[in-house]
Amino acid sequence: VILGNAGRSVAIPVDELVGQQLVLLRPLRGVLSRLNHLTGLALLAGGDVGMVLSANRICEPQAAEAV
């Protein structure tokens, strides 16, 4: 997947694209809240949980160098 923001692009490898669906988003709490590139958790219809990445934070110059 290629993410872009403010003229900067970053490629991120993914294992699977689930598709488009309605999800319930929950904010990160506790230890997980310290992770800079994650926005929250997505509770999927089948009961699975997915991590929600922040495209803006991943495309920041200092973030791309750390990946």
Q: In the prediction, which pLDDT does 64 show?
A: 46
Q: What is the pLDDT of residues 47-57, one digit of tens each?
A: 888 888 887 77
For 22-54, letters b (16+ CB in 10 Å) and e give ebeeeeeeeeeeeeebbbbbbeeeeeeeeebbb
Q: Taking the complete model, does pTM exceed 0.85, yes or no?
A: no
Mean pLDDT of all residues in 40-52: 85
